[in-house]
């Protein structure tokens, strides 16, 4: 029970990596506040996780909605021990010059401004508990990615922001870290793979891009998140922890490059 009785404010917690983190946090004894902007997935999460937790429909890009979410959280639980900024979007798949103003704004508002809002309205509560902040980044923030320039910019921004926040809030004994996944299977990735002309080849490519030999499920990210929010990581701050199976290491393998060219 690594997170026993900790109140965790989890954005983007109704789907994908966030939902897997929610499962892991509950297993470790936490009380959750699941914040998401999709009412249907939020209802599904509520059905799975149960009435002991709080579920709030909220757009993290809108300051007043985030402020109200923290008011509801403190009203129900009276404290906040952790903020996990997991909410994020990846679209559009475009070069920078092809990206519209609105697409750029949408990415910045969710992926970066969302963190600004949760910290702005949650930091006082974290000071009371000497809590911690966890941001979900991506390996592409370090190594780049074709046709996702704006998205990559947000993830690189999250990495720098994590380190700056770690310095700013260390005097309050608040730790700030990030997880940096590469490819992980979520329902969205499974769906995308099956929609491709050759799903088997795509699956082989996703496996081959990781030196450990397979593309994992999102529970590997959740395990790392549990550790970083637990007291076992009590002397770790400003860390961008890769959860990548070594995908960022060395040259691409001949097999992976060949598969990519075939796709």
For the annotated catalytic residues, the residue numbers are 151
DSSP state string for the chain = -TTTT-EEEEETTTSHHHHHHHHHHHHTT-EEEEEES-HHHHHHHHHHH-TTSEEEE--TT-HHHHHHHHHHHHHHHS---EEEE----------GGG--HHHHHHHIIIIIHHHHHHHHHHHHHHHHHT-EEEEE--THHHH--TT-HHHHHHHHHHHHHHHHHHHHHGGGT-EEEEEEE-S-B-HHHHHHHHHSS-HHHHHHHHHHTSTTSSPPBTHHHHHHHHHHHSGGGTT--S-EEEESTTTTSSSPPHHHHHHHHH-
Q: Are 56 and 33 in contact (CB under 8 A)?
A: yes
Q: Yes or no: say if 183 and 12 are a contact pair by the CB < 8 Å rule.
A: no
* Torsion angle of the four alpha carbons 181, 183, 187, 189, in this order, in degrees rounded to the nearest 10: 140
Q: Which of 162, 134, 176, 175 is nearest to 24 (CA)?
A: 134
């Amino acid at each position: 029970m690594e997170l026993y009785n900790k109140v965790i404010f989890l954005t983007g917690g109704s789907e994908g990596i966030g939902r897997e983190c929610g499962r892991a946090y509950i297993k470790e004894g936490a009380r959750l506040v699941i914040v998401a902007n999709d009412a249907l997935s939020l209802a599904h999460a509520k059905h799975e996780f149960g009435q002991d937790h709080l579920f709030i429909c909220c757009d993290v890009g809108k300051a007043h909605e985030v402020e109200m979410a923290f008011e509801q959280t403190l009203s129900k639980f009276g404290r906040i021990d952790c903020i996990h900024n997991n909410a994020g979007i990846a679209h559009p798949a475009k070069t920078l010059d092809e990206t519209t103003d609105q697409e750029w704004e949408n990415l910045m508002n969710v992926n970066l401004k969302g963190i600004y809002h949760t910290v702005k309205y949650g930091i006082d509560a974290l000071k009371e508990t000497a809590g911690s902040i966890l941001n979900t980044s991506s390996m592409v923030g370090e190594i780049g990615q074709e046709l996702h320039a704006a998205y990559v910019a947000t993830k690189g921004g999250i990495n720098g922001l994590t380190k700056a926040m770690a310095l700013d809030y260390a005097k309050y004994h608040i730790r700030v870290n990030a997880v940096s996944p590469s490819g992980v299977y979520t329902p969205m990735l499974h769906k995308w793979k099956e929609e491709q002309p050759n799903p088997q080849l795509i699956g082989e490519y996703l496996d081959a891009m990781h030196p450990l030999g397979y593309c994992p499920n999102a529970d590997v990210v959740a395990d790392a998140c549990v550790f970083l929010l637990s007291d076992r990581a009590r002397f770790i701050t400003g860390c961008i922890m890769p959860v990548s199976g070594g995908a960022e290491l060395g040259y691409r393998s001949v097999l992976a490059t060949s598969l990519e060219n075939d796709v």
